[in-house]
Amino acid sequence: MGTCEKKDAMDLLKFDGIHKSYTRGGMFGDRQRHAVLKGVHLSIAPGSCIGLLGRSGSGKSTLGRIALGIEAPDAGTVLYDGAAIDQMPAARFRDFRRNNQVVFQNSLGSVNPRFTAGQIVAEPLKNFKSSTAAALKEKINDLLTQVGLRREDADKYPHQFSGGELQRVCIARAIALNPRLIVLDEAVSSLDMVVQSRIIDLLMALRDAAGIAYLFISHDLRVLAKIADRLAVLHDGRIVEDVDLTEPRQQAYHPALIELIGAVLPPISEWSKRRNEAICV
């Protein structure tokens, strides 16, 4: 599939100079603004996967929420298909929200415990599409099988799943409306390596089948090495490194990236070589 062909495609999502501050403190009247994002520029091409790295508290989840339109930046623009999301008419913004989904790390906390898996997966379908009860049931079955669960799982409640299974339910919910982008915020971090690897394979298969792009927030370099085409590093409020993992690279890496990858290398130059062989033949 064409990671190599897609380089010149129009950006699906683009962060153009995003700024975001939060107010800190306040108990003793010492409220201060804390600038988290200080001019973030980053583009996501259709069907691509960007790994977003950064130290804890660097603003990755904040940027993820801004990408989804859940939170507004103080300054700067998020462009979807070239259009600023804050200028969109309501119908277009709804379309943007429909096409941008999210999977969080804490799947138990992001589902309604009183809903069955079937109801959880059906939620976005009900909000956005009208269909008969029979068609809805068939669609739910389809989605559950796509993520490697069984039809019978539709009737189970969140506490009756393992962490990995529930994460699959959340992925099924995220793909229900055939989105163009999924923000995965530490979505596989709490899972063991075998389940992690299965979910990554599933995400890659979905990308190949449906051209979904991912903004993949993770501290785990092994995971990113497997799935990401690019690696963006958020440091001191800005993207200080944007490495194309499909190309060999000569220049030195930003110290913030070196600090993050530390001793965990395989060197990124090695990933590039491997990915080149795997992707561009």
Contact stretch for ligand ATP (CB under 6 A) within 52-60, 114-122, 133-141, 172-180: 52-60
CB 172 within 8 A of CB 148: no
Partner that binds at residue 164, options ligand ATP, Mg ion, none, CB closer than 5 to 8 Å by kind: none
Q: How many helices (H) and strands (E) does the chain have?
A: 9, 10
Closer residue to ligand ATP (CB): 29 or 248: 29
Closer residue to ligand ATP (CB): 58 or 196: 58
Report the SS3 class of residue 108.
helix
Interface residue with ligand ATP among 30, 56, 133, 250 (CB under 6 A) is 56
Under the binding rule (CB under 6 A), the answer on residue 25 touching ligand ATP is no
CB of 52 to Mg ion, least distance (A): 10
CB of 182 to ligand ATP, least distance (A): 17
Closer residue to ligand ATP (CB): 47 or 59: 59
Closer residue to Mg ion (CB): 15 or 161: 15
Under the binding rule (CB under 6 A), the answer on residue 238 touching ligand ATP is no
**Phi, psi (deg, nearest 5) at residue 238:** -135, 160
CB 183 within 8 A of CB 162: no
Residue number of the CB closest to Mg ion reads: 61
Q: The tokens of 250 are what?
A: 């000569």
For residues 99 and 212, give the distance between their C-alpha atoms in angstroms, rounded to a whole number: 10
For residues 24 and 27, give the distance between their C-alpha atoms in angstroms, rounded to a whole number: 9
CB of 110 to ligand ATP, least distance (A): 15
Please give the order of strands across the beta sheet that includes 49-53.
Answer: 100-104, 181-185, 213-217, 49-53, 230-235, 238-244
CB 279 within 8 A of CB 4: yes
Under the binding rule (CB under 6 A), the answer on residue 22 touching ligand ATP is yes
CB of 53 to ligand ATP, least distance (A): 9
CB 181 within 8 A of CB 213: yes
Interacting residue ranges for ligand ATP, rule: CB under 6 A: 22, 36, 54, 56-62
